[in-house]
Amino acid sequence: MIKMININKQYDLGDTQVRALKDVSLEIQRGEYIAIMGPSGSGKSTLMHILGILDSISSGQYFLEDYEISSLPDKEQARIRNRHFGFIFQSFNLFPELSALENVMLPMSYAGVPWQKRKSRAIELLDEVGLGHRMNHLPTMMSGGEQQRVAIARSLSNEPDLILADEPTGNLPTDKGEEIMQILEKFNKQGVTVVMVTHNPDQGKRANRIINLQDGVLQNELSSNDSIKREDLRAE
Ligand SMILES: Nc1ncnc2c1ncn2[C@@H]1O[C@H](COP(=O)(O)OP(=O)(O)OP(=O)(O)O)[C@@H](O)[C@H]1O
Ligand SMILES: [Mg+2]
């Protein structure tokens, strides 16, 4: 589904530069469940932003199916982003003035889905993440775990091929984080490709594949059976 070849990402800050990704080459097959790990500042979020076409690359090639992303105009990139990707962030990022139901319906309105269909699909998704009884709650009336489940339902609203989750359990207590992991794994079993950043080695081991970044460089991939050294993965 995805092929990246020698991707570089550089941030220019006046006279200094940060090379956040260095010659990263990566393939992702449909249906995979991938964990991205590595120390703080190693480029994990940068890689997620580039995968999700939220940010541009400095050099290299990014193929999504038959598209070479960086050669496309912005409008086309946005269309591909909305059609292919769902995003989940550590900080939930729900709209505070919208109910759970409205938050899940919103991306479908951008995609031009009729109101009745938006509503029925949002209800179905909220049911699937166990929030059938919280449809009309505002984010401030929900726990962190509930808010993250709304965010998952929202990320799935336009039937993405791939979910990009950047530390989705980072702000949650262990038991609530476990619920989020199980929901992501349920959707992966239904065929959605999942790429997740995590600092938690036990979570990483549950993925089919672990991508290890160190200082912007992709290390040899670990299989989930390899023992993971905590000091390699710690958050600083
Ligand atoms: N917008 C930006 N402008 C300049 N430098 C940036 C920008 N975003 C990230 N960086 C730098 O790029 C490097 C990679 O950052 P990134 O956010 O990808 O790290 P990360 O692996 O996600 O870290 P964390 O685990 O702390 O979230 C860091 O050195 C960071 O300071
Ligand atoms: Mg990050």
Q: List pLDDT tens digits, range 90-126.
A: 888 999 999 999 999 999 998 889 999 999 999 999 9
> How far is the centre of ligand 1, averaged over its atoms, from the C-alpha of 19 (Å)?
10
For ligand 1, atom 29, the nearest C-alpha belongs to 41
| CA–CA–CA angle 147, 176, 198 (5° rounding) | 90
- Domains for the chain: give ranges and CATH numbers: 33-55+85-223 (3.40.50.300)
Tell me if 40 CB under 6 Å of ligand 1.
Answer: yes
| φ, ψ of residue 148 in degrees (nearest 5) | -70, -30
pLDDT higher than 80, residue 232: no
Q: How many CB atoms lie within 10 A of CB 181?
A: 19
> How far is the centre of ligand 2, averaged over its atoms, from the C-alpha of 236 (Å)?
12
pLDDT digits (tens, 9 = 90+) for 118-132: 999 999 999 999 999
From 10, 17, 18, the mutation candidate for ligand 1 (largest count of ligand atoms within 8 A of CB) is 18
pLDDT at residue 222 in the model: 53
pLDDT at residue 231 in the model: 46
pLDDT at residue 66 in the model: 86
Ligand 1 atom at minimum distance from 21 CA:
14
Average pLDDT, rounded, for the chain: 91
Residues 6+ apart with CB under 8 A from 4: 24, 25, 26, 27, 50, 51, 60, 61, 62, 63
pLDDT higher than 90, residue 165: yes
For ligand 1, atom 31, the nearest C-alpha belongs to 41
Please give the Cα distance from 157 to 15 (Å, whole number): 43
For ligand 1, atom 3, the nearest C-alpha belongs to 11
pLDDT at residue 83 in the model: 87
pLDDT digits (tens, 9 = 90+) for 14-29: 899 999 999 999 999 9
Please give the Cα distance from 129 to 11 (Å, whole number): 38
Spell out a b/e string for 209-234, using b for 16 or more CB atoms within 10 Å of the CB, else e.
bbbbbeebebeeebeeeeebeeeebe
Tell which wins on pLDDT, 16 or 222.
Answer: 16
Tell me if 9 CB under 6 Å of ligand 1.
Answer: no
Please give the Cα distance from 222 to 134 (Å, whole number): 40
Please give the Cα distance from 224 to 221 (Å, whole number): 9
The token pair at 69 is 């992303």
What is the SS3 assignment for 151?
A: helix
The residues whose Cβ lies within 5 A of ligand 2, an ion, are 44-45
Is-contact 168 162, C-beta < 8 A? no
Please, what's the largest Cα pairwise distance for the chain?
54
pLDDT at residue 129 in the model: 92
